[in-house]
C-alpha cells in the first residue's frame, strides 16, 4: 500500500499514480504544486535535505549525550599480565571487561598472602567481601574465595601468627552465610545449598583448629624484649597500632604490664586512629580526675572505624588506568609516573566495581 504509515486523508495532499509508482502532491491551497513534476521534485529534494540535516543533528546530539554518559561510567577492568587495565567504555562494549569477582580471580591473591606485607590487606579484603559482597561474586569467584580462605587458615596454623585476625574473619563469614542460607530463594549464592552447608562446616572446623593452637615458647635463649632498656621497650610498644596487642603484651611479664598502662602510650594511640572532634565527644575521666585514654580508646573503636595500616597496597595509575601491587612496574606513558599512582584501601578496591 502506498499509504502505509501515512494518513492519506491529511488536508492539502493528493496521491497520483505515475509510471514510477504512487507520488504525493500538495495542492495550491497548501502552497504546493499540482501536475508540475519537476517543481515537485525540487520541493521534495528540499524536504529531503531538511530531513537529512535534522537526522544528522539528532545523531550528533545523541552521540554527545552518549559520550557524556560514558565519561561518567564506572571504571571497568580486564587482566593484562601482572596488572589490570582500566578502561571507560560504553555499556555495549562488555567483552573483555570484568566485575569484582573476575578482578578478584585475576589478581593473584593466593601469592599475595605469602607476602607478609600484603597479608593483612588480603585478609581485610576477604572480610569486606564476606560482609556485603558475597552475593555479587560469580560461582567461580566464590569458589576461589573459599580456596584463598583455606590457604590463609593453613598459613596461620603453620606460622601461629595473626590468629585473632583470622578468627574475626571466619566469624564474620559464618554470620553472613547463616543469614544468606536462612533466606535461601532470595539470596543469589551460586551452587547447591548442600555445598554451602559443607563450606559452613569447614569454617567451624577451622575455628576449632585455631582455638586448639598452643603457642610454645621458642628455645632461643638470647636477648628478649624485657632485656632491652625501658626506653626501647616503650618505643617498640608505640609502634603497635592495635590496643588489644598492647593488652596482650602487658600480660607477658610484670614489667611489660606497667609499661602497657602508660597514659602517653594510649593517648598517642587514640590520636593516631581518631580525630580531635571524635575524641572530644568520648571523654572519660579517671578517679584522679585525669583523662583515661585507655578506656577512651576502647570506647572510640566501638563508635568509629580505626585507621587502616598496611605494609603494601594495590596502586591505581590515574594516567594509564592500570591497577597493580606496589613495586610492580607497568608501562606508564606519563612524564612523572610517580605522581600518577594512588594507593587503594580494600574498601576503595571494592568501590571501583560498584555500578
Question: Domain residues of the chain, as ranges?
Answer: 101-212, 242-303
CA dihedral 93, 313, 341, 107 (to 10 degrees): -30
Query: pLDDT per residue over 321-335, tens digit each?
Result: 777 787 776 677 777
Q: Which pLDDT band, with edges at 50, 70 and 90, does 35 fall under? A: very low
Q: Which pLDDT band, with edges at 50, 70 and 90, does 12 fall under? A: low
Please give the grid coordinates belonging to residue 74. 564506572
pLDDT for the residue 135: 84
How far does CA 52 lie from the centroid of its chain?
A: 46
Please give the grid coordinates belonging to residue 87. 578502561
Answer with the residue of higher pLDDT: 297 or 138.
297
* Residue 305 to residue 299: CA distance in whole angstroms: 11
Most confident of the following: 2-16, 62-76, 210-224, 285-299:
285-299
Most confident of the following: 18-27, 182-191, 192-201, 265-274:
265-274
- pTM of the shown model: 0.67
Q: How far is CA 278 from CA 242, 290, 302, 304, in A?
A: 18, 18, 12, 8
Q: Is the pLDDT of residue 124 over 90?
A: yes
* Residue 160 to residue 260: CA distance in whole angstroms: 23
HEC string for the chain: CCCCCCCCCCCCEEEEEECCEEEEEECCCCCCCCCCHHHHHHHHHHHHHHHHHHHHHHHHHHHHHHHHHHHCCCCEEEEECCEEEEECCCCCCCCCCECHHHHHHHCCHHHHCCCHHHHHHHHHHHHHHHHHHHHHCCHHHHHHHHHHHHHHHHHHHHHCCCHHHHHHHHHHHHHHHHHHHHCCCCCCCCCCHHHHHHHHHHHHHHHHHHHCCCCCCCCCCCCCHHHCCHHHHHHHHCCCCCHHHHHHHHCCCHHHHHHHCCHHHHHHHHHHHCCHHHHHHCCCECCCCCECHHHHHHHHHHHCCCCCCCCCCEEEECCCCEEEECCCCCCCCCCCHHHHEEEECHHHHHHCCCC
Count of CB atoms within 10 A of residue 12's CB? Answer: 12
Query: Which range (5-19, 99-113, 236-250, 329-343) has the least confidence?
Result: 5-19
Query: pLDDT per residue over 151-175, tens digit each?
Result: 999 999 998 888 999 999 999 999 9
* Residue 355 to residue 352: CA distance in whole angstroms: 8
Please give the grid coordinates belonging to residue 115. 607476602
C-alpha angle 151/153/159, rounded to 5°? 100
Query: Which range (61-65, 114-118, 296-300) has the least confidence?
Result: 61-65
Amino acid at each position: 500500500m502506498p499509504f502505509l504509515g501515512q494518513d492519506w486523508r491529511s488536508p492539502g495532499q493528493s496521491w497520483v499514480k505515475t509510471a514510477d509508482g504512487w507520488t504525493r502532491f500538495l495542492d495550491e491551497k497548501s502552497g504546493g504544486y499540482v501536475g508540475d513534476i519537476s517543481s515537485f521534485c525540487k520541493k521534495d529534494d528540499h524536504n529531503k535535505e531538511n530531513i537529512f540535516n535534522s537526522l544528522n543533528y539528532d545523531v550528533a546530539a545523541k552521540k554527545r549525550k552518549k559520550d557524556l554518559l560514558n565519561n561518567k561510567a564506572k571504571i571497568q577492568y580486564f587482566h593484562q599480565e601482572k596488572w589490570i587495565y582500566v578502561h571507560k567504555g560504553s555499556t555495549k562494549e562488555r567483552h573483555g571487561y570484568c566485575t569484582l569477582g573476575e578482578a578478584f580471580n585475576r589478581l593473584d591473591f593466593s601469592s599475595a598472602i605469602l607476602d607478609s606485607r600484603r597479608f593483612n590487606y588480603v585478609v581485610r579484603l576477604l572480610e569486606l567481601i564476606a560482609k556485603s559482597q558475597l552475593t555479587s561474586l560469580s560461582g567461580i569467584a566464590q569458589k576461589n574465595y573459599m580456596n584463598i580462605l583455606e590457604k590463609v587458615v593453613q598459613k596461620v596454623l603453620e606460622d601461629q601468627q595473626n590468629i585473632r585476625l583470622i578468627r574475626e574473619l571466619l566469624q564474620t563469614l559464618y554470620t553472613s552465610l547463616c543469614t544468606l542460607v536462612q533466606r535461601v530463594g532470595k539470596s543469589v549464592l551460586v551452587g547447591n545449598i548442600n555445598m554451602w552447608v559443607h563450606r559452613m562446616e569447614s569454617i567451624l572446623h577451622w575455628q576449632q583448629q585455631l582455638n586448639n593452637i598452643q603457642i610454645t615458647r621458642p628455645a632461643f635463649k638470647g636477648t628478649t624484649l624485657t632485656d632491652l632498656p625501658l626506653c626501647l621497650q616503650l618505643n617498640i610498644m608505640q609502634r603497635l597500632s592495635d590496643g588489644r596487642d598492647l593488652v596482650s603484651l602487658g600480660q607477658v611479664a610484670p614489667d611489660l604490664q606497667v609499661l602497657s598502662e602508660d597514659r602517653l602510650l594510649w593517648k598517642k594511640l587514640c590520636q593516631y586512629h581518631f580525630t580531635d572532634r571524635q575524641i572530644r565527644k568520648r571523654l572519660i575521666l579517671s578517679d584522679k580526675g585525669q583523662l583515661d585514654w585507655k578506656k577512651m580508646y576502647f570506647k572510640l573503636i566501638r563508635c568509629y572505624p580505626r585507621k587502616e595500616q598496611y605494609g603494601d597496597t594495590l596502586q591505581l595509575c590515574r594516567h594509564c588506568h592500570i591497577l597493580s601491587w606496589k613495586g610492580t612496574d607497568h608501562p606508564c606513558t606519563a612524564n612523572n609516573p610517580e605522581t600518577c599512582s594512588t594507593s587503594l584501601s580494600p574498601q576503595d578496591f571494592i568501590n571501583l566495581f560498584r555500578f
